[in-house]
Amino acid sequence: MDLSMRWLSDYVDIGEMSINEFCSGITMSGSKVETHKTEGSEISKVVVGKLLDVKPHENSDHLMVCRVDAGTGEPLQIVTGAPNIREENIGDLVPAALDGSTLPGGVKIKKGKLRGVVSEGMLCSLGELGLTTHDFPYAIADGIFILKQETDKPLVPGMDIKEALRFNDTTVEFEITSNRPDCMSVLGLARETAATFDLPLNIKEPSFKGAGGDINNDLKVEIVNKDLCSRYCAGVVKNVKIKESPLWLRERLRASGVRPINNFVDITNFVMLEYGHPMHAFDIRYIDGRSIKIRSAKEGEQITTLDGVERTLTDKMLVIADEKKPVAVAGVMGGEYSGIMDDTTDVVFEAACFDGASVRTTAKALGMRTDASSRFEKGLDPRMCMPALLRAFELVEELGCGEVVSNVIDCSNGVDTQKTAPFDPEWINNFLGTDIPEADMIRYLEKLEIKVKDGIAYAPPYRIDIERGCDIAEEVARLYGYNNIPKTIIRGVASGELTPEQKFTRTVLNTAAALGANEITTFSFISPKYFDKIRLPDDSPLRNTVVITNPLGEDTSVMRTTLLPSMCEVLARNYNSRNERVCLFEIGNEYLPGEGELPCEPARIMFGMYGDEYDFYSIKGIAERLLDVCGIPDVSYEPCKGVSETFGEAPAFHPGRCAEVFAGGKAVGILGELHPETAENYGIGTKVYAAKFNIPELFGLTRQKKYKPLPKFPATMRDLAVVCDDDIPVAHLEKAISEGVGKILESVKLFDIYKGKQIADGKKSAAFSIVMRSAEGTLTDEQADAAIKKALKKLSELGAELRM
């Protein structure tokens, strides 16, 4: 809402208050000011000039040399090329930009020479002053603005042009919340101003004299759909004179951001801006049968709206119709056909009240949000119709532009819309945490025209938001001043605690960082094409996504079912930024469609890394340590050759360098080197490693850690090298050793893998360091040898033999 301060001053006098004081005060009482600007602020040193003489330029056939009285003493010589300045214009008043003046758009005017003749300034057109012919209809667009006396104050040479044209209003832009459509009006903001600064308010009831006649001879009105139209008031103006509005009206519209058109259109806009209630004007010639029905549109019915667009309506929409056709989309826009033309003689004014939700849905469906619809959709009160209509007639008479028929038509569905709320000062103080005296509360409310009687607050018609005790508390609080409310601490005791799963997730988070991975945050939505980039087959279950019907773009159109593409994107971005070594992780949700209305949103941790010093065992090392710190027992790693029942991401990995991680009998993670194609699809020219773990599953497996006594007896160590088929996983060899050695095994660690000379093709040598220890006593060599022998027996079952 753009408020003209000049218009505001018609109703409340803010005196010497600075604009900044006004803006900050009214913001703090609840009407938030976005910004304010003053018209013509870019214009300086432009004055009213009187043409004393106009002569052709000696070196040009289109330039004219003028002598101009600009109130500066000696007349100035100004050269102009405008076609509308000729000898017959001598004596006219024009805007003269003096030497050193500025114009909108940062234009600076300096004294200079034009074809050898000195010009001490510039005569200005409307456009050069930032104005249009809508603002000054008597001027021409492409020529010097020849001024007309429009105010009581005589125009004299030397007068500042902004003052002469009254082009110096200040506009304050408000952000009005949806509960206060009344503040989308000058009167609404005048009331707020008066209440905020405790100033008198001078609003008078609108009235008109009337020129006789009976409207019932001219018009019939019937509300057919009483649910969507609560009131319809109409009046008729005859013998209208369509012309431009006077300056005072035009300038108020201009400062409010509305273009002046002609007096009747301007009056409807003026009333809407002043009262906050939209109005409409029809040419009565085009109302078939002189009968207006407010009814639902017929499915497929058509109307060309004022903007010249043909619209097809549905039966959900409300129209104003005559006997044959719709003449307006109710509350949204009028029809082009019945609009006010220059030859219009009789006009119908409408002030009506339509259902907010219906107007909103209709405006949305037709894709035309208008000043009217944006007011109706917030819910206006039917009691505001009549004052708006009366104000329009008052203006018609004031402008002398028609004869108002003395009576009006007023149809209503008869529903009482008076809003009330309980007024209980003690409750209000308890609710706010204040100690405001009842008398003060009543004073605040009365300033807002809320009447209090017998414990009940009665809202004025324009306050659609007052319904409950808390609404009254808010009115009291905002005039008392939110910041005068004492700050208190919540009473009572409470203990806050993270749930075990939240604590677990925090451990995962902190451990991942401690292991050298940097946390990232990425968007939850991705492009469905990313599934191709990570090599998922067409039938991959991960392609079953939650789809956004109105995404910003394809790149953000589906909710991710895996964190991997987001990780790859970030790795690629870092790779392109030439960050040499990058190790990252993200904890985030996946969105997995299921049976229910809403998807599952399980939490995952995804690691990703690249860099020269990393290999498969770097990512595996991170996994091992993470699971250890998190207390996950009995973890095993199995080769995953591009397929996994649990992890749809398996095809994104190198089939020979990928492991599925098992714990507690189920797959809880997947890790490895990404498939070279995956890396290539992201433009990463080096090996990329990734790992993913399912956090809820891990949490389900955590065991409370228990202390094991420190060893009392020394350990016995043996190294063992075996030769076996190359494709036997080391984990299987370790398992065999562990089974063979039995409970005296403390640890078994691989320290060497060898292939090549002395080892047959297709075989490998694996060397282990085995530590054995007993809690009962020092192991003898015999005991140790016997254990190793058993281990070798188990190994030979796998085809692994002692390397000689």
Partner 1 sequence: MKQKLEQILAAAQAELESCGDLKVMEELRIKFLGKKGELTSILKQMGGLSPEERPVIGGLANKVRAEIEQKISEKTEKLRADAAAKKMAAEALDVTLPGKAPEPGRLHPLTAVLEEVKEIFLGMGFDVVDGPEVETDHYCFEALNMPKHHPARDTQDTFYINDNVVLRTQTSSVQIRTMETRKPPIRIISPGRVYRSDTVDATHSPLFHQIEGLVIDKGVTLGDLYGTLELLMKKLYGDQAKIRLRPHHFPYTEPSAEVDLVCFNCGGKGCSMCKGDGYVELLGAGMVHPKVLEECGIDPDVYSGFAFGIGLERITMGRYNINDMRLLYENDMRFLGQF
Greatest pairwise CA separation for the chain in angstroms: 131
The partner residues of 109 in beta bridges, in order of sequence, read: 101
Per CB under 8 A, does 572 bind partner 1?
no
- Are the C-beta atoms of residues 255 and 4 closer than 8 Å to each other? yes
Beta strands in 324-433 (DSSP E): 326-329, 333-334, 347-354, 403-404, 409-412, 420-422
Per CB under 8 A, does 487 bind partner 1?
yes
- Rounded to the nearest whole angstrom, what is the least distance from the CB of residue 184 to partner 1 in the complex? 11
Residues 527-556 that bind partner 1 (CB under 8 A): 546-552, 556
Secondary structure tally for the chain: helices H, strands E: 20, 39
CA dihedral of residues 734, 738, 740, 742 (deg, nearest 10): 170
3-state class (DSSP) for residue 631: coil
CA distance 454 to 423: 8
Per CB under 8 A, does 613 bind partner 1?
no
- Are the C-beta atoms of residues 413 and 231 closer than 8 Å to each other? yes
CA dihedral of residues 508, 513, 517, 521 (deg, nearest 10): 80
The partner residues of 716 in beta bridges, in order of sequence, read: 772
Indicate which single residue of 139, 436, 559, 741 sits in contact with partner 1 (rule: CB under 8 A).
559
Closer by beta carbon to partner 1, 36 or else 290: 36
CA distance 804 to 796: 14
Closer by beta carbon to partner 1, 489 or else 804: 489
Closer by beta carbon to partner 1, 439 or else 552: 552
Closer by beta carbon to partner 1, 431 or else 616: 431
Which x/- pattern, by CB under 8 A, does the window 176-215 give for partner 1?
-xxxx-----------------------------------
- Rounded to the nearest whole angstrom, what is the least distance from the CB of residue 677 to partner 1 in the complex? 23
Which x/- pattern, by CB under 8 A, does the window 382-421 give for partner 1?
----------------------------------------
Indicate which single residue of 223, 328, 432, 606 sits in contact with partner 1 (rule: CB under 8 A).
432
Using CA atoms, how far residue 318 sits from 230, 333, 337, in Å, is: 12, 11, 18
CA dihedral of residues 268, 271, 276, 277 (deg, nearest 10): -50
The region that residue 100 occupies, defined by phi over 0 for left and psi between -120 and 50 for alpha, beta otherwise, is left
Indicate which single residue of 598, 645, 756, 762 sits in contact with partner 1 (rule: CB under 8 A).
598
CA distance 66 to 87: 9
Indicate which single residue of 91, 106, 154, 496 sits in contact with partner 1 (rule: CB under 8 A).
496
Indicate which single residue of 135, 346, 377, 394 sits in contact with partner 1 (rule: CB under 8 A).
377
Per CB under 8 A, does 494 bind partner 1?
yes
- Are the C-beta atoms of residues 144 and 80 closer than 8 Å to each other? yes
Quick count: other Cβ atoms within 10 Å of Cβ 452? 16
Size of the site for partner 1 (CB under 8 A): 86
Stretch that binds partner 1, among 70-78, 200-208, 282-290, 486-494 (CB under 8 A): 486-494
Q: 784: which 2 tokens? A: 């140790």
CA distance 531 to 562: 9
Q: What is the DSSP letter of 259?
A: -
The partner residues of 305 in beta bridges, in order of sequence, read: 335
3-state class (DSSP) for residue 417: coil
Closer by beta carbon to partner 1, 640 or else 690: 690
Residue type, 412: S
CA distance 554 to 545: 13
Residues 434-473 that bind partner 1 (CB under 8 A): 434, 468-471, 473
- Rounded to the nearest whole angstrom, what is the least distance from the CB of residue 652 to partner 1 in the complex? 19
Indicate which single residue of 204, 491, 706, 708 sits in contact with partner 1 (rule: CB under 8 A).
491
- Rounded to the nearest whole angstrom, what is the least distance from the CB of residue 377 to partner 1 in the complex? 5
Closer by beta carbon to partner 1, 264 or else 504: 504
Indicate which single residue of 219, 583, 668, 791 sits in contact with partner 1 (rule: CB under 8 A).
583
Per CB under 8 A, does 518 bind partner 1?
yes
Closer by beta carbon to partner 1, 462 or else 768: 462
Q: Distance between alpha carbon 134 and the CA centroid of its chain, in Å?
A: 33
Stretch that binds partner 1, among 43-51, 66-74, 592-600, 744-752 (CB under 8 A): 592-600
- Rounded to the nearest whole angstrom, what is the least distance from the CB of residue 617 to partner 1 in the complex? 15
Residues 731-760 that bind partner 1 (CB under 8 A): none
Closer by beta carbon to partner 1, 579 or else 780: 579
Per CB under 8 A, does 91 bind partner 1?
no
Indicate which single residue of 426, 597, 612, 727 sits in contact with partner 1 (rule: CB under 8 A).
597
Residues 332-371 that bind partner 1 (CB under 8 A): 356-357, 360-361
Stretch that binds partner 1, among 109-117, 483-491, 625-633, 729-737 (CB under 8 A): 483-491
Closest CA to 738 of 715, 771, 762: 771
